[in-house]
Amino acid sequence: MPKIQQLSPHVADLIAAGEVVERPASAAKELVENAIDAGAKNITVELQNGGMTFLRVTDDGCGMSAEDAETAFLRHATSKLRTAADLEAIHTLGFRGEALAAISAVSHIDLMTKTADSAFGTGLHLDAGVVTERDSVGCPDGTTIIVRDLFYNTPARMKFMKRDTVEASALVSAVSRLAIAHPEVSVRVIRDGEEVLRTPGDGKLYSAVYAVLGRQNAQEMVEVNSRWESYALTGYVSKPSATRGNRANQLFFVNGRHVRSKTMTAALEEAYRNQLMVGRFPSCVLHLTLPEHLVDVNVHPAKVEVKFLNERDLFDCVRYGVEGALETASGRVQMKLPQQRQEERPAAPKPTVSASKVSSPDAFFRTMSAEDYKAFAQVVREAPRPQMTPELKAALERNKKTAAPVQKPETPQPAPIAKEDAAPAVQEELPLETQSYRIVGEVLNTYIIVEEGKNVLLIDKHAAHERILFEKLRSAETTVVPQLLLTPILCKPEWEEAAMLLENADLLRAAGFELSDYGDGVLAVRQIPADLAPEDAEATLNELAADLKAGKRADPTAMRDAILHTVACKAAIKGGWRSDEKEIAALVKEVLSRDDLKYCPHGRPITAVLTAAQLERQFKRA
């Protein structure tokens, strides 16, 4: 064995530097954090070549005295921590006193800094962590630090750097996260001479989100604002209809610090359960504030991971907070009407006929004649009353429960326990309908138009039916009602997909499918869900195989839901198909009487609303 020796401080510094400063983005993060800790109101970050050759951070914070400026570059030199007890409650972003030492060990640095109460500032130059020049300089209050040629003396590390564009975007993301965490600070980023980010620093989270995620994303988010015991959760989450193919826009902050937390990610996604397609992810900017003793921020060199005392509380807080916000946000998407500009408006024709004589010149506005409507209403009224069978009784009971307005607590609570005995007694007679809406008709064989109070609703019949079927399938606790096929359907998926289906035969059985290996890569399907038409079976199985492949590691409940999504989608009436009036009436009734029908299982909205006010504005009546 070779002799053990203690590392020289220089080598130790290089190793430590590798932990804190992984790439230009991590250097920028540390420098901007220092500026925020120094109370800066304005911070500018400039970078060239992805921050590899040039990185400058300018702030208008408290600055440093000449003496402090030099001490700051020593290892474990910090103004933010004095005693071990201080570690229990950290109010600043930095506290380890390592960043400046680490960054300077692997670069050339120029520093200019001035406090408000001194006439002159201090200028320092460092090479590989050693001060080589010091001056008294004239400069504004605050600090400017320039880092050149990062990793110039650690060629091994240099090799790991990616293309400039990759490093640059990692750097901009890192600074963006800090900008979102601190809406009270105005943050600018200038990449190779071009401004790529500017937050206003007006203290409003929405402004920062808008600047960082862009107008489109910001407008598709709903506000979260909930408290639970000593936890407060605020921020924005995307509507189920505005999701992404990855988790890049999921930003979590704990006490003002950006963190990665599996628990928070899982809780967020749980809140969207069954509203998203497999492989789609919600976006969020969520700030959690909790007492400092419930979280340990000192478990990771770059401080992106933190430890929570109680992960379960954390999960519930995020999940119910987000769920509440999604429920409050109306599931009915308001339609956007294009605003006609004055000069483009055709001159309004003078009314020439009296109201009683209106004979519409074209059929455009006539979706259903009065005669047709009367006949239709008759059909609905005379539809045979269902007999009170035990199944119907049970269904009615279930329906009542779902239709009853759910009393949402202000603050998120652990899942409420349903009080069985509080349910209303089943009535023997079906109550007479007092309908508060009017079905106007269907257009484009896809959208049902309904008048409800002062609103015009457009219901996407496929999305609605899909959701209703999905909820029905899902409420069957263990298995879906199957239909046995007289002649089995033979289908021949790709090899890998056939294997996937056979491997998951149990899951598929619970969803109503019974299939077996027919040899030669052919599958024999003997049983399918009752809601599915036999001719759709093969296509459904192909989609299921793709789902199974995509979600190999997903948990069985999620997989079951994915299977049911596919079945519901295939079994639902399609947009473009003609539906009869009874079908439409039944669909509308379901949609309007239940409040869980906001999105189809793929996250598309079911209902769009046109308000009377909107129409009045559009036609310049208001």
Query: How many helices and strands (H and E) does the chain possess?
Result: 19, 23
| Shortest Å, Cβ 37 to ligand ADP | 6
What is the amino acid identity at position 616? E
- Which does residue 258 touch among Mg ion, ligand ADP, none (CB within 5 to 8 A, set by kind)? none
Question: Among all chains, which residue has been given the structure tokens 């206003």?
Answer: 200
Single out the segment in contact with ligand ADP by CB under 6 A; choices: 57-65, 198-206, 207-215, 423-431.
57-65
For residues 285 and 209, the answer to whether their CB atoms sit within 8 Å is yes
Residue closer to ligand ADP (CB basis): 26 or 249:
26
The closest of 18, 9, 45 to 159, measured between CA atoms, is 18
Residue closer to ligand ADP (CB basis): 97 or 441:
97
Structure tokens at 462: 């496929």
The closest of 484, 497, 577, 596 to 532, measured between CA atoms, is 484
- Which does residue 300 touch among Mg ion, ligand ADP, none (CB within 5 to 8 A, set by kind)? none
Q: Where is 213: in which H helix or E strand?
A: helix 205-213
Residue closer to ligand ADP (CB basis): 40 or 271:
40
Among 80, 134, 227, 247, binds ligand ADP (CB under 6 A): 80
* φ, ψ at 366 (rounded to 5°): -95, 95
| Shortest Å, Cβ 188 to Mg ion | 20
Q: Where is 12: in which H helix or E strand?
A: helix 9-20
| Residue 65 binds to ligand ADP (criterion: CB under 6 A) | no
For residues 579 and 444, the answer to whether their CB atoms sit within 8 Å is no
Residue closer to ligand ADP (CB basis): 30 or 531:
30
| Shortest Å, Cβ 105 to Mg ion | 15
- Which does residue 48 touch among ligand ADP, Mg ion, none (CB within 5 to 8 A, set by kind)? none
Q: Are strands 455-460 and 447-452 parallel, antiparallel or unpaired?
A: antiparallel
How many residues contact ligand ADP, by CB under 6 A? 23
Single out the segment in contact with ligand ADP by CB under 6 A; choices: 93-101, 183-191, 312-320, 587-595.
93-101
Residue closer to Mg ion (CB basis): 44 or 527:
44
For residues 195 and 188, the answer to whether their CB atoms sit within 8 Å is yes
| Residue 61 binds to ligand ADP (criterion: CB under 6 A) | yes
**Cβ atoms within 10 Å, residue 220:** 16
The closest of 144, 34, 180, 22 to 93, measured between CA atoms, is 34
| Residue 96 binds to ligand ADP (criterion: CB under 6 A) | yes
Residue closer to Mg ion (CB basis): 103 or 567:
103
| Shortest Å, Cβ 267 to Mg ion | 30
| Shortest Å, Cβ 406 to Mg ion | 47
| Shortest Å, Cβ 152 to Mg ion | 22
DSSP per residue, 498-522: HHHHHHTHHHHHHTT-EEEEEETTE
DSSP-derived 3-state class of residue 82: coil
Binding site for Mg ion (CB under 5 A): 34, 94, 99
- Which does residue 226 touch among Mg ion, ligand ADP, none (CB within 5 to 8 A, set by kind)? none
DSSP per residue, 11-72: HHHHHHHHHH-SSHHHHHHHHHHHHHHTT-SEEEEEEEGGGTSEEEEEE-S----HHHHHHT
Binding mask 6-35 for ligand ADP (x = CB under 6 A): ------------------------x---xx
Query: What does the DSSP 8-state code read for residue 531?
Result: T
Among 17, 21, 28, 38, binds ligand ADP (CB under 6 A): 38
Structure tokens at 47: 């970078």
Residue closer to Mg ion (CB basis): 94 or 412:
94
Residue closer to Mg ion (CB basis): 80 or 108:
80
* Window 107-166: residues binding ligand ADP (CB under 6 A): 143
| Shortest Å, Cβ 67 to Mg ion | 18
- Which does residue 449 touch among Mg ion, ligand ADP, none (CB within 5 to 8 A, set by kind)? none
- Which does residue 61 touch among ligand ADP, Mg ion, none (CB within 5 to 8 A, set by kind)? ligand ADP
User: Could you give the angle at which helices 461-475 and 556-571 cross, rounded to 10 degrees?
Assistant: 140
| Shortest Å, Cβ 302 to ligand ADP | 12
The closest of 202, 210, 170, 204 to 186, measured between CA atoms, is 202
Among 14, 16, 72, 544, binds ligand ADP (CB under 6 A): 72
Residue closer to ligand ADP (CB basis): 224 or 295:
295
Distance CA 583, CA 461 (A): 10
Distance CA 138, CA 82 (A): 32
Among 100, 288, 545, 597, binds ligand ADP (CB under 6 A): 100
Residue closer to ligand ADP (CB basis): 14 or 99:
99
Structure tokens at 457: 């609703």
Torsion sign over Cα 315, 319, 322, 328 = negative
**Cβ atoms within 10 Å, residue 426:** 12
| Residue 75 binds to ligand ADP (criterion: CB under 6 A) | no
Distance CA 173, CA 169 (A): 6
Residues in contact with ligand ADP by the rule CB under 6 A: 30, 34-35, 38, 59, 61-64, 72, 77-80, 94-101, 143
